[in-house]
């Protein structure tokens, strides 16, 4: 499964306690852009994590939602149908879905074209999201510095993902066209995630897949110290408003 999948598996509990809330807000904003009628649609939640994008589609009347992810511990329980799988080798027949949603999963690929080709094989349309390349929040570096004082080293898979800057709307649109999609549209939208307090910001940073396994392995008293120190450094920082790239495309 590789380091990404094992890291997300190890982070699943902390993810549900922090990042899940912000990703749910971002999924709602992404769902507004679905390029086909969602009512009664067969939806694939691709790189589903805890399934917030599928939930957003279900709230819009999707007929069925299937969630697929590398990390079994992240996957939602009922009412979604969940399966472990890799976005480059999906265990579904051609055209099995009307719409694939890929919320913050294609940014895990150095080259998003292969998973896009696979999504186009199984679904008639795509809506995807990613962080805008220029987007940043000061809590990221501030909490990383606290973690580093306690011995944290950025895992290689995350460092590699960071070195390849997040794709901008034009980059993602170009990938979709190379994957064979038509009617490609992409833009940046700002999403207020509702995460504003120091507790929220730290729950976000300590619940991410590259930090949560490190934090979980600390002794309980050190884990408390890390949280207290992190909350002190982010206190008074701006609310978490994310610049999100949204991509839509049709087969």
Residue 228 CB, nearest approach to ligand SAM (Å): 26
Distance in angstroms (rounded) separating the CA atoms of residues 243 and 9: 26
Q: Contact between 105 and ligand SAM (CB under 6 A)?
A: yes
State which of residues 28, 86, 144, 192 lies at the interface with ligand SAM (CB under 6 A): 86
| 4 contacts ligand SAM (rule: CB under 6 A) | yes
Tell whether residue 70 is a contact of ligand SAM (CB under 6 A). yes
Closest residue to ligand SAM: CB criterion: 49
8 binds ligand SAM (CB under 6 A): yes
- How far, rounded to the nearest angstrom, does the alpha carbon of residue 64 sit from its chain's CA centroid? 21
How many CB atoms sit inside 10 A of residue 219's CB? 8
- Is residue 103 a contact residue for ligand SAM (CB under 6 A)? yes
Q: How far is the CB of 149 from ligand SAM (least distance, A)?
A: 26
CB of 195 to ligand SAM, least distance (A): 14
Q: What whole-number distance in Å separates Cα of residue 5 and Cα of residue 108?
A: 11
For residue 23, state whether it binds ligand SAM (rule: CB under 6 A): yes
CA distance 241 to 244: 9
The window from 68-76, 154-162, 171-179, 216-224 that contacts ligand SAM (CB under 6 A) reads 68-76
For residues 105 and 47, the answer to whether their CB atoms sit within 8 Å is yes
Residue 199: partners with Cβ closer than 8 Å, 6 or more residues away: 231
CB 165 within 8 A of CB 224: no
**Total chain residues near ligand SAM (CB under 6 A):** 21
Q: Which residues contact 105 (CB under 8 A, 6 or more apart)?
A: 46, 47, 48, 49, 69, 87, 115, 128
Q: Judged by CB, which is closer to ligand SAM: 34, or 52?
A: 52
Binding stretches for ligand SAM (CB under 6 A): 4-5, 8, 23, 27, 47-50, 52-53, 69-71, 74, 86-87, 103-105, 108
């Amino acid at each position: 499964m590789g380091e990404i999948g094992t890291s997300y598996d190890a982070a699943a509990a902390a993810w549900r306690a922090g990042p899940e809330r912000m990703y749910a807000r971002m999924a709602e904003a992404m769902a507004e852009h679905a390029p086909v009628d969602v009512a009664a649609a067969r939806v694939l939640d691709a790189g589903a994590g805890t399934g917030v994008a599928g939930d957003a589609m279900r709230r819009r009347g999707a007929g069925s939602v299937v969630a697929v992810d590398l990390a079994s511990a992240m996957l939602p329980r009922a009412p979604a149908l969940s399966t472990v799988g890799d976005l480059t080798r999906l265990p579904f027949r051609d055209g099995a879905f009307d719409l694939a949603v890929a919320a913050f999963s294609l940014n895990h690929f150095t080259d998003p074209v292969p998973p896009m080709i696979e999504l186009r094989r199984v679904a008639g349309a795509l809506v995807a999201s990613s962080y805008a390349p220029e987007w940043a929040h000061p809590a990221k570096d501030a909490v990383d510095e606290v973690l580093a004082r306690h011995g944290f080293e950025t895992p290689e898979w995350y460092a590699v993902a960071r070195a390849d800057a997040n794709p901008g709307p034009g980059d993602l649109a170009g990938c979709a066209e190379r994957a064979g999609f038509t009617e490609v549209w992409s833009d940046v939208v700002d999403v207020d995630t509702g995460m504003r307090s120091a507790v929220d910001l730290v729950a976000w940073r300590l619940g991410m897949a590259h930090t949560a396994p490190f934090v979980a392995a600390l002794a309980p008293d050190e884990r408390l110290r890390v949280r207290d120190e992190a909350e002190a450094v982010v206190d008074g920082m701006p609310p978490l408003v994310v610049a999100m790239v949204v991509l839509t495309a049709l087969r």
